[in-house]
């Protein structure tokens, strides 16, 4: 089988040189493109190298070919007709979202339907990319990739699997049963009056039930991750790319995620509950659809944000989540 693949240039770094304008502001219709017939067994790297040759892309000051020095991949989306926006920033300039995937860290689906993480573009065949797109792991049109003339960047400190288990167990401790009149060393009497009745009451049934549900989700997620993390790691999974896959392909059916993870349906549902999904009566699991799902996903994001040098959660994680559990409000990050 062959695919018709249209590769459009996107020029983001001065280290690369293209004969035509391919900056982010160029409309897609005017962007330099290479239309290629691609065999299903061709790797993504081979396809990008063919496109770079046809588009006369060169690189200066860096060893190797232009494609050897590129760090990212993205695919055409509807909003690209006028300009290509690859990242979204907060008002203070902090990166809050990116549609760029690392060429060295792609998530694919093998022929048996099981997910594979941390795949390098030099070994990822185009039919694997197509399967990944069908599974929801690719943002945009898999047959319209961008040749992104930009080098890679460091991903910073990453949470380890051991760190993620520790984070869920810390969260479980914060959500412990029987809050009484003290919580995490905070004495209710020391907080002063609460004339508006805004503070949660540990003895109120609905509040207690909510904490118990979240505590159960955290404990079950920790157990599932501890049981399966080694197997997932052998397939290239880390907490960050594992989470990215699950969030990107939402909504999920229990069976579909079980197939991708190579686990039982029960384990898949435990992971969905721990990562911020809730199940509709009709069956699908949807992302951040109720308060419990939002809380669990916020906790996961906090653990990722506050990964320390050892890969375990920084003390900031426990402090911020303690406040969140007590007040029902997430602290604003210092960069927002």
| 311 in the same domain as 165 | yes
| 139 in the same domain as 67 | yes
Q: What confidence score (pLDDT) does residue 326 get?
A: 80
How far is the first Cα of the chain from the last one, in angstroms, to the nearest whole number?
A: 48
* Tokens encoding 98: 């990116």
Give the tens place of pLDDT for each residue, 165-182. Answer: 999 999 999 887 434 434
Q: What confidence score (pLDDT) does residue 327 get?
A: 81
Give the tens place of pLDDT for each residue, 239-273. Answer: 999 999 999 999 999 999 999 999 999 999 999 99
| 320 in the same domain as 210 | yes
Q: What is the 3-state secondary structure (H, E, C) of 243-262?
A: HHHHHHCCCECHHHHHHHHC
| 217 in the same domain as 195 | yes
| 216 in the same domain as 120 | no
Quote the pTM value: 0.87
| 320 in the same domain as 219 | yes
Q: What confidence score (pLDDT) does residue 190 get?
A: 41
| 144 in the same domain as 165 | no
239 belongs to a structural domain: yes
Q: Give the domain range for residue 192.
A: 161-327
% of the chain beyond a pLDDT of 70: 86
109 belongs to a structural domain: yes
| 313 in the same domain as 171 | yes
Residue 265, φ and ψ in degrees, nearest 5: -60, -40
Three-state secondary-structure class, residue 106: strand
Q: What confidence score (pLDDT) does residue 191 get?
A: 42
Q: How far apart are CA 75 and CA 140, in angstroms?
A: 5
Nearest to 299 by CA among 169, 186, 117: 169
With bands split at pLDDT 50, 70 and 90, how would you rate the model's confidence at 323?
A: confident
With bands split at pLDDT 50, 70 and 90, how would you rate the model's confidence at 96?
A: low
More confident residue, 264 or 187: 264
Number of independent structural domains in the chain = 2
- Write down which residue in 116, 149, 182 finishes a domain: 149
332 belongs to a structural domain: no
With bands split at pLDDT 50, 70 and 90, how would you rate the model's confidence at 334?
A: low
335 belongs to a structural domain: no
């Amino acid at each position: 089988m062959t695919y018709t693949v249209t590769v459009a240039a996107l020029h983001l770094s001065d280290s690369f040189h293209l004969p035509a304008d391919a900056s982010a502001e160029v409309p897609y219709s005017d962007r330099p493109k290479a239309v290629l017939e691609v065999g299903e067994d061709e790797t993504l790297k081979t396809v990008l190298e063919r496109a770079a040759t046809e588009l006369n892309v060169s690189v200066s000051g860096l060893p190797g070919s232009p494609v050897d020095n590129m760090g990212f991949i993205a695919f055409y989306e509807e909003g690209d007709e006028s300009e290509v926006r690859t990242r979204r920033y907060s008002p203070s300039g902090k990166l809050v979202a990116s549609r760029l995937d690392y060429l060295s860290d792609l998530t694919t689906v093998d022929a048996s339907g099981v997910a594979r993480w941390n795949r390098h573009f030099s070994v990822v065949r185009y039919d694997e990319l197509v399967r990944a797109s069908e599974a929801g792991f690719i943002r945009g049109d898999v047959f319209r990739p961008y040749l992104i003339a930009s080098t890679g960047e460091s991903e910073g400190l990453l949470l380890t699997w051991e760190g993620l288990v520790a984070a869920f167990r810390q969260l479980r401790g914060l959500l412990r049963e029987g809050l009484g009149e003290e919580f995490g060393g905070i004495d209710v009497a020391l907080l002063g009056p609460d004339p508006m009745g805004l503070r949660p009451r540990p003895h109120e049934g609905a509040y207690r039930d909510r904490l118990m549900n979240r505590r159960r989700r955290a404990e079950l997620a920790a157990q599932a991750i501890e049981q399966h993390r080694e197997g997932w790691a052998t397939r290239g999974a880390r907490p960050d790319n594992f989470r990215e896959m699950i969030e990107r392909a939402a909504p999920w059916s229990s069976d579909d995620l079980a197939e991708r993870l190579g686990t039982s349906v029960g384990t898949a549902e435990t992971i969905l509950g721990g990562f911020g999904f809730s199940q509709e009566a009709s069956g699908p699991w949807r992302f951040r659809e109720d308060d419990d799902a939002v809380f669990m996903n916020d906790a996961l994001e906090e653990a990722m944000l506050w990964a320390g040098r050892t890969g375990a959660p920084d003390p900031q994680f426990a402090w911020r989540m303690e406040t969140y559990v007590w007040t029902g409000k997430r602290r604003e990050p210092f960069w927002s």
